[in-house]
Amino acid sequence: MQILIFGSPGVGKGTQAKILASKLNIPHISTGDILRYAIKNESELGKKAKEIVDRGELVPDDIMGEIVKETLTDPKCSNGFILDGYPRTLNQAKILEEILKTIKNEKHFLIKLDADDEIIIDRLTNRLVCCKCGNILNKSDVKENFSCPICNSLNSYAKRADDDESVIRRRLKVYHDTTAAVFDYYKDKAVIIEIDGTMPIEKVTEEIILKLVEN
């Protein structure tokens, strides 16, 4: 089963991708993770990417596409995968289609988690992240002398710099501007499943599984 998961920043696509990967027994492929892995392991592609990242530039589509291809052709993805964070643009979508032609090209499922922008803004401006383990909580749940429920670190929660409202609004605009063309591209290439991403996590997972079974 080949799944692409989409959604605006903060809608919970990473969380759902991890849950689905566990339930469906297929790997969760986060493009941010595989890029960092390639750089850390100093592969040829990783070295090229590192030079670009060190200059403060975005990794070009052709190099990112090669890193994605390297990952998806690994035997661990032979039974499918959940791709999180890619493709983000029409050009990346076209690159991915060429990659999938070189491997077992099964039916694609594109899962889109929907949420109103104002709900996303409220969610992100009120979240705090553990500086030690990355766990996320609403700031109303983090009190003085609070210990992280995951790693037990004391007073380790802080607001991320990119969770400022003006930054979030810019990220949402970029998301809407770039992904509209991607959805249009996949209309006749994938089974598109749209889910209300503002529901409780368990309910979102339940709805996704139901739609996957139906299709």
pLDDT in tens, 125-159: 999 999 999 888 999 999 989 999 999 999 999 99
pLDDT for 105 equals 66
| Residue 88 bears catalytic tag | yes
| pTM recorded for the entire structure | 0.83
Its sign, for the CA torsion 147, 148, 149, 151, is negative
Q: Is 165 inside a domain boundary?
A: no
Please give the torsion angle defined by the CA atoms of residues 157, 161, 166 and 170, in that order, rounded to the nearest 10 degrees. -120
What range defines the domain where residue 78 resides?
2-116+179-214
pLDDT for 116 equals 94
- Which CATH number goes with the domain that contains 26? 3.40.50.300
Split into its structural domains, the chain has a count of: 1
| Residue 160 bears catalytic tag | yes
| Residue 13 bears catalytic tag | yes
| Residue numbers of the chain with a pLDDT score lower than 70 | 105
Q: Is 172 inside a domain boundary?
A: no
Q: Is the peptide bond before 87 cis (omega within 30 degrees of 0)?
A: yes
Active-site residue, selected from the candidate residues 47, 104, 139, 160: 160
Q: How many residues does the chain have?
A: 215
Q: Which residues contact 106 (CB under 8 A, 6 or more apart)?
A: 1, 2, 80
Q: Is 139 inside a domain boundary?
A: no
pLDDT for 121 equals 94
pLDDT for 203 equals 97
Between CA 64 and CA 66 the distance in angstroms is 5
Q: Is 153 inside a domain boundary?
A: no
| Residue 170 bears catalytic tag | no
